[in-house]
């Protein structure tokens, strides 16, 4: 194997709590029921698809595309305000050291995130320089479980899909990795998902994956 492609939210940083708070604010304002169980369905899913999942519980008059765009913009503004408080302390030493050691061992490292805020987050936590390539929500047309974000990451790295590991916390991300022809490593929620090739309990276990 030549490379690792990392999901961002739920793997490198835990921004899911901010997504939850930002969507919750919007849902409360619109009188829509929304809880953490529904929020789990938003992992790895694009902003537009997340909105549609939340609107499954909406009972008001039909919403125009303009209104939906406005809702997504409002949610993203709240989310970015919450992200504004992030610092390098929001990345554990385990994550930082493991990334550095994988690099030392000669692996190429890429980010493969559905988020359009990925670079902003990596800047806040001072990890932008840890990756050789970034594939995120700004360079894809289809979001996970479509393999596009990971295939683009492999292309940016100049590596073959079958020589890439994908590290993911979301079922949609594991499905995307398998569709891309990559090795899927599950952490967090995804460690309990049958489609994963390898399961890890902590990030540092990536160093012993090939033993």
Note the residues at the interface with ligand B16 (CB under 6 A).
7-10, 19, 42-47, 50, 76, 113-117, 137, 170
Smallest gap from residue 208 Cβ to Mg ion (A): 22
Residue 147 is a binding residue for Mg ion (CB under 5 A): no
Q: How far apart are CA 38 and CA 49, in angstroms?
A: 13
Closest approach of ligand B16 to the CB of residue 127, in Å: 13
Residue 42 is assigned to a ligand binding site = yes
- C-beta of 29 vs 73, nearer to ligand B16: 73
Residues 48-107 that bind Mg ion (CB under 5 A): none
Element (H, E) at 63: none
Are the C-beta atoms of residues 162 and 192 closer than 8 Å to each other?
A: no
β-bridge partners, 186: 168, 199
d(CA 134, CA 78): 24
Identify the helix (H) or strand (E) that includes residue 77: helix 65-83
By CB under 5 A, tell whether 169 contacts Mg ion: yes
Q: Is 35 annotated as a binding residue?
A: no
| Of 109, 170, 174, 182, the one binding Mg ion by CB under 5 A | 170
**Which one, of 208, 204, 9, lies nearest residue 94 by Cα?**
204
Stretch of 2-10, 58-66, 74-82, 103-111 lying at the interface with Mg ion (CB under 5 A): 2-10
Distance between CA 179 and CA 145 in Å, rounded?
8
**Known catalytic residues?**
7, 9
The answer to the question of residue 136 lying near Mg ion (CB under 5 A) is: no
Residue with Cβ nearer Mg ion (32 or 110): 110
């Amino acid at each position: 194997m030549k490379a690792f492609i990392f999901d961002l939210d739920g793997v490198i940083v835990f921004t899911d709590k901010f997504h939850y708070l930002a969507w919750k604010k919007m849902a409360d304002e619109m009188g829509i029921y929304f809880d953490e169980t529904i929020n789990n369905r938003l992992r790895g899913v694009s902003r537009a698809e997340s909105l549609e999942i939340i609107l499954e519980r909406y009972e008001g008059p039909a919403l125009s595309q303009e209104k939906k765009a406005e809702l997504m913009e409002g949610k993203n503004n709240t989310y970015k305000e919450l992200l504004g408080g992030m610092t390098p302390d929001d990345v554990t030493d385990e994550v930082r050291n493991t990334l550095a050691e994988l690099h030392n061992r000669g692996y190429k490292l890429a980010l493969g995130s559905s988020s359009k805020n990925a670079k902003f987050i990596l800047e806040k936590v001072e990890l932008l320089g840890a990756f050789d390539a970034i594939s995120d929500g700004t360079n894809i047309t289809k979001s996970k479980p479509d393999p596009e974000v990971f295939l683009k990451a492999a292309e940016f790295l100049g590596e073959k899909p079958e020589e890439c590991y994908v590290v993911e916390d979301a079922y949609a991300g594991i499905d995307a990795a398998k569709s891309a022809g990559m090795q899927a490593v599950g952490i967090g929620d995804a460690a309990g998902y049958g489609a994963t090739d390898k399961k890890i309990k902590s990030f540092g276990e990536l160093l012993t994956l090939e033993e």
